[in-house]
Structure 1
Amino acid sequence: MTKTVLCYGDSLTWGQDADKGRHAYKDRWPSTLQAALGNEVRIIAEGLNGRTTAFDDHLADCDRNGARILPTILQSHAPLDLVILLLGTNDMKPVVAGSAFAACQGIARLVRLIRNHAWPFEFDGPDILIVAPPKICETANVPFAASFVGAIEESAKLPTLYRDLADELGCGFFDGNSVAKTTPVDGIHLDAENTRALGRGMESTVRMMLGL
């Protein structure tokens, strides 16, 4: 029976290209993961530029609060076997939350929403994989540097905090820093090679969690 995986994330999942707008479909990490897993698995890419874990961005042009949108997304794609959470980078903006600890609290809120969701029929709910985004790096891009003041140090704390949270809540964990690095073009996003590497890097963890 085909397994269904929801990839819930921000612009890293959407496929933001710091140079050209958006990566080609084949280069986005959910697409790379789909190619690696084959027809046994159906990957649903649910990425939105600027999405936070659970915080409002009052400067945004649409709702970026991941906690407010998630229940609707879960209901529309149920049943699900696995939810991959790749969020936290946008929480590093001082106008949003500005700390790794806040992002960790936000991820914990998303896990609770998934676990306590009113799933249709007699569905037990999916496993959850928490992914630490590749840390923010130095950039000469003035708008991005100004938007993410202090974020380089804070984002480097996410892997440890997320790993501990995953252990505490009984979720899977994958550190995006183990396979991918952000581009200095804007300090936030991934070039095509690194976003593909992210999808390939998750394959073994996802296979294990799905029992493949």
Structure 2
Amino acid sequence: MKTVLCYGDSLTWGYRPDGSGRHARKDRWPEVLQAELGEAVHVISDGLNGRTTAFDDHLSGFERNAAKTLTTALGTHFPLDLVIIMLGTNDMKHILCGNAYGAKRGMQRLIEIVRTAPYQFDTKAPAVLIMSPPPFGANEWSEFRLIFEGGAEQSHLLAEFYRDAAELARCAFFDAGSVAATSSIDGIHLDAENTRAIGKAVAPIVRDILDL
């Protein structure tokens, strides 16, 4: 059996745009991916609200810096055949990073971590698939507008920067914004239909990577 780790933020966790909680399990993209791939693959979902690529957020009681926590996830779940990373949305907060280039550098660091982690038992490093999250839409929530000030424009640059990072690292890339759009409610998160669309669209790419 192949094992896939989906490592992300609230878009992976399944945060509802209206702030009412979490999408049903069947609507979260990692679970949709699991259903598409079937029993030959075990898909592990690891999403944390507010997680960044490599930037500290001291406003949360959880460690949100993926550069500090990814090795723990890799060590917990190895051996792994593929790690899918979809992060960058929270990097757009101006108090943390605020620009797409910084997110690209953070993603490059995460690719390096996956490839150099101290795996045991002669376990090989897994393949890496990086995904750019859908860019921001219109945002009417005053708090989000302030936290992500300037982030909307930068979020539209993530796909280009991540594609370049994937080419440099010779790993796979998928633009989630090519199949999904953020909700008009908050302009950042995904409704059930759009998070399901990501799981369905990425499934053929994962099959190809895993040679299924």
TM-score band w.r.t. shorter chain: over 0.9
Q: Deviations over 1:115-174 (max 9, x none)?
A: 111101011110000100000111111111111000111000000110011011011000
The aligned counterpart of 2:13 is: 14
1:31-74 per-position Cα deviation (integer Å, ceiling 9, x unaligned): 00000000010000000000000100121221100010011110
Aligned residue identity for 2:12: T
The 4+ residue runs of structure 1 with deviation greater than 3 A are none
Percent identity of the aligned residues? 53
Where does residue 114 of structure 1 map in the other structure?
114
Q: Is 1:144–1:187's contact at 8 Å kept on the other side of the alignment?
A: no
Aligned position for 2:186: 186
List aligned pairs for 1:66-105, cutoff 5 A: 66-105=66-105
For residues 126 and 24 of structure 1, what CA distance do their matches in structure 2 show? 29
Matches of 1:166 and 1:39 in 2, distance apart? 29
Give, as a single letter, the amino acid of the residue that structure 2 aligns with 1:10: D
Which residue in 1 is equivalent to 2:128? 128
Aligned with 1:17: secondary structure?
coil
In 2, Cα distance between the equivalents of 1:148 and 1:41?
37
CA distance in 1 between counterparts of 2:176 and 2:76 reads 27
Which residue identity is paired with 2:125?
G
Q: How does 1:186-205 map to 2 (within 5 A)?
A: 186-205=186-205
1:92 and 1:140 map into 2 onto residues whose CA distance is 17
- What is the aligned residue count? 211
Within a 5 Å distance, the mapping from 1:112-191 to structure 2 comes to 112-191=112-191
Structure 1: runs of 5+ lacking an equivalent: none
Aligned to 1:3: 2
Taking the aligned partners of 1:139 and 1:75, their CA distance within structure 2 comes to: 38
**Structure 1 length normalisation: TM-score?**
0.98
User: What is the alpha-carbon distance in structure 1 between the residues aligned to residue 205 and residue 90 of structure 2?
Assistant: 25
Q: Secondary structure at the match of 1:32?
A: helix
Q: Please state whether the residue corresponding to 1:39 is helix, strand or coil.
A: coil
- Is 1:41 equivalent to 2:38 in the alignment? no
**Residue type of the alignment partner of 2:128:** I
Paired position in structure 1 for 2:54: 54
Q: d(CA) in 2 for partners of 1:107 and 1:94?
A: 17
1:84–1:131 CA contact under 8 A, matched in 2: yes
> Taking structure 2 as the reference length, what is the TM-score of the superposition?
0.98
CA contact (8 A) 1:52 1:91 kept: yes
SS of the aligned residue for 2:149 comes to coil
**Partner SS state of residue 3, structure 2:** strand
**Unaligned residue ranges in structure 2 (runs of 5+):** none
Q: Write out per-residue CA displacement over residues 95-131 of structure 1, whole angstroms, 9 at most, x where no aligned residue.
A: 1100000000000000111111110101111000010
Question: Counterpart amino acid of 1:18?
Answer: P
